[in-house]
Amino acid sequence: MMLNVLLRVFAGVLIALGALWSLQGAGVMHVKPILCVADCTELQGASAQWLATGIGTIALGLILWYLAGRRAKKMPAASK
């Protein structure tokens, strides 16, 4: 049960990050860099790379969300 909750939380974070990256890549949202390790510059205009990265991250999050729910349904009632 706890693993399912952790998977769902992780999947939710991936979906939220993917949405942010997709919106930035599409040029809809502009967010200034917060924590930078290297040369940090604000994303200027639309970026196909960030749009694709965001969509892929959303897809991965949705797959994890689905698998966590599927795993929870397979568990016997006593172990829930």
Residue, of 22 and 75, whose pLDDT is higher: 22
Answer positive or negative: Cα dihedral of 29, 32, 35, 38. Answer: positive
- pTM, 2 dp: 0.78
The domain limits of the chain are 2-29+46-73
Distance CA 62, CA 22 (A): 15
Q: What is the pLDDT of residues 13-57, one digit of tens each?
A: 999 999 999 999 999 988 877 777 777 777 777 889 999 999 999
DSSP annotation of 77: G
pLDDT band for 3, please (50, 70, 90 cuts). confident
pLDDT band for 77, please (50, 70, 90 cuts). low
**C-alpha dihedral over 48, 64, 7, 31, to 10 degrees?**
10
pLDDT of residue 54: 96
Q: Dig out the tokens for 2 from the structure.
A: 């706890």
